[in-house]
Amino acid sequence: MEEYRIRTACFLILSFSIALVATAGTLNSYMNKTWADTSLPLDDILKNYYIKIQDKSENGIEISPDFSQDSEGANQTGSDLTGQALSGEEGANQTGSDLTGQALSGEESANQTGSDLTGQALSGEEGANQTGSDLTGQALSGEESSEDNNQTSTSTQTAGESESNQNTNQTIETQQQTQNNQTVNIQNNIEMKQKLEIAISEEEGEAPIPLEDQNRIESSDRVIVTQHKALTGPDCKTGNVLAGASNEEDLRVLSECQEATGVVMHTKKMDDGDFKFFLKLDDKFKFLTNEKNNDKTDGFLVVEIVPPDQGKSGIVLPKEGDRVHIWGAWVTDKPKGWHEMHPTWKVVNE
């Protein structure tokens, strides 16, 4: 019995559901046809409402459905339109749902647009960042340029310092070279003085030069005598021009009167009383010396003032470095082989 009741209840429920569905379908078809054939103010209301929703949706404003105006328009149609109004409300609900969907779509669009704007803003920020990076790069480039300028300035300063150091080194080298030259000159002068002192201090009785050299020099002297003419005048001496010389027999006369000019290089008072010095000849009188002068007296002419002529008027005993003009007998000292002005009877400072 209980099972029979359950089956009966299920059947009734199922039958009622089928009837309800059929009725709803028939009513929906009828209302759709009536809604399509009838122009109601509600249609305009819903259109205006849709337009408002769409406008507000485009502006990104969220709105909630408001059916107060739609309800007022539906009440004006009368009781016959109640079902239609209800159906209109359902359509409005559907339309509202659609509009809500569109509004949501608009919100999504707005969100998308916002997203796009946000993306653009982000892109702008990225561009700004990129621009900032570019500016930073330019700043860094400026710093690099500044560093290059600093390097150029440093290089210029370094080059200037290097040039200054080179000039300083050159100056030091020049000073050192000058000092070295002075030292060498002093050393050479000392050596020359020692050599001249040895040469000027040779005593009589020292071994003469080899006979072969004496003969060769004598042959050369014969040529000089024939080519050279002796001077005449008040500065010359008459008579025996070798008078007063302690070694007269060793002297061969080349010219009885000869003049010469030059600078006194070394002086000494000899044991036999002669005042002896070396004369650095001027160029025009360099013919007065020979090879033995070059070997033993460094190319200087040997000059001797005998004791009888010392202290006479017109004769000075010069000092080293004096520039003098002399007159005397031009002779060859045969044992030594060099040429001399001996005796010299006139010596004046120039």
- Lookup result for tokens 């360099």: 286
Could you tell me if 92 and 71 are in contact, meaning their C-beta atoms sit under 8 angstroms apart? Answer: no
> pTM here?
0.51
pLDDT of residue 223: 94
pLDDT of residue 28: 63
Profile the chain (350 residues) by mean pLDDT over runs of 10 residues: 77 84 69 50 51 50 42 38 36 35 36 38 40 40 50 62 82 87 82 80 76 96 92 94 94 97 95 95 97 94 96 94 98 96 97
